Structure 1
Amino acid sequence: MKGIFSALIVPFDESGNIIEGSLRKIVRHNIDVCEVDGLYVNGSSGENFLLSTDKKKKIFEIVKDEAKDDIQLIAQVGSLNLDEAIELGKYATELKYDCLSAVTPFYYKFDFEEIKDYYFSIIRETKNKMLIYSIPFLTGVNMSLDQFEELFVNEDIIGVKFTAADFFLLERMRKRFPEKLIFSGFDEMLLPAAIYEIDGAIGSTFNVNGKRAKEIFQLAQDGKIIEAKEIQHTTNDLIEKILELGLYQTIKEIFHVKGIDAGQCQKPMKNFNPEKRTDVEALVKHFNL
């Protein structure tokens, strides 16, 4: 399980319901146009933490039915409610997702033993592989190298989605755990992460910019850093504009411009500003999305 994975964007209508036909089109766009290696389903980019359990299950079901076995699928099942995480994990496992992932439990100041028990419980109950989702700037959970080692003792924990700018920890992790999978989680930092021999990357902008991400990753693996740097520059120009306009809203608007009704975001996220539509049209044209 390696390569470039899109953190899948999910379209919702004005009532917050999943637009199934559009979700299928977004999945196909990722596979057929962006040519990503896999999809990371029900992560932050899918607005997972704003959804009911039933909606999360429906997304898992639609994505698997559309993608089938064309690409690798990772099911993010993490939740503050451990029972829900286990329920979602069992459901995704029944659907034959390639592995599970779970964000570190957040909001409450869980100690490491509680975090470890959370992961081990999900694994024990689902009997599936686990990719830890470490995103400290949102969860407030910073784990040390030794704590990662305590988790990695469990052979069913196959690696980590590492969404942090701590490249010292990333380098130390790669050296100490050569057999574990490490996926970079910051799209704008793909190249520097790739230099440390990560196994792949998982990102929201890959939904529309997956081909460039694959080029960066492959060039870095081939030692062609100067060429990779130029593509990362272009990618970061795009990311900078997307962030200025609103991350998830703008990616959805890019799909709108490309003829796919990507709906809107779950409340309390705001809608895309229609006055900025021409800016997105210019992005699509300038970056050949």
Structure 2
Amino acid sequence: MSKYILKTKDLCKKYKNVYAVDNINMNIKRGDIYGFIGENGAGKTTTIRLITGLIHKTKGEVELFGKSNACESKINKNRKRIGSLIERPVFYDDMTAYENLEACRIQKGIPGKKCVDETLEMLGLYSDRNRKVKNFSLGMKQKVGIAMAILGDPEFLILDEPINGLDPLGIVKLRNFFKKLNKEKGMTILISSHILEELHLLATSYGIIHKGKLIEEITAEELDKKCRRSLNIKVDNVKKASVLLEKELNTNNFKVMEDERIKLYDFVDNPKLVSSIFSKSGIIIEEITAKGDSLEDYFMNLIGGANS
């Protein structure tokens, strides 16, 4: 059994003269919750559509459960092991929640009707199962879409912006639900979301896409190390301050960010020492604060570097 649920190799999708997806090499291990991050138009949904077979690749390979699309029949068989919600739910507005899931069950060839009620119960939709979906709120419709995606307990769940339309309490409940699916059912999950704070509470690994290119894959553990606490320093002379850090404080454990702030990973508990060294050399300190990066900070710094 392959330890990877999904691998892509130099995966590309070209529209006219523009690559929406440009040589992506993605690796998702069995049991991961993979946070897929990128701005609008970065190529997230296009990548997901290539993985699920909804659009044809320009070139490259997709490997699912150890089977490559070099053998189209085998990879299409393996795609039946995927549940997905892409962009927004698609259902019959004039049918009830139960009827929509039952139609989905038949289409997927899942035996037995019991799973429909069980899935509705898991998403908190059971009491509304006989209401027509057109009368549901946006958040409830999103839950119906997720219910359809997880029907039949797929091994690999792909969700594109799954918390759209949900209130804060609904988001927390859904986060705990995804963790439960991952832990108790061993479900591997790919989640694309622009709400980075929420992904930071959920994902075990990340893929960051920018302008069609996958610029980094990183585990949650590696990310936490990179987002460790630091002194964030704003001064009037960045070059002089950098030299002083190296010569007077004997450290190169810092980096200069896009906005010319200095992120110093040493002396976090002794900002007075840093201030003193700068002041003696005539450097004006506009700000010096200790904090840790969020996933949003890390993402913005990374794509800022990519833009540079």
TM (norm. structure 1) is 0.42
For the pair shown, the structure with the greater C-alpha radius of gyration is 2
Which protein is richer in helix relative to its size? 1
TM (norm. structure 2) is 0.40
Which protein is richer in strand relative to its size? 2
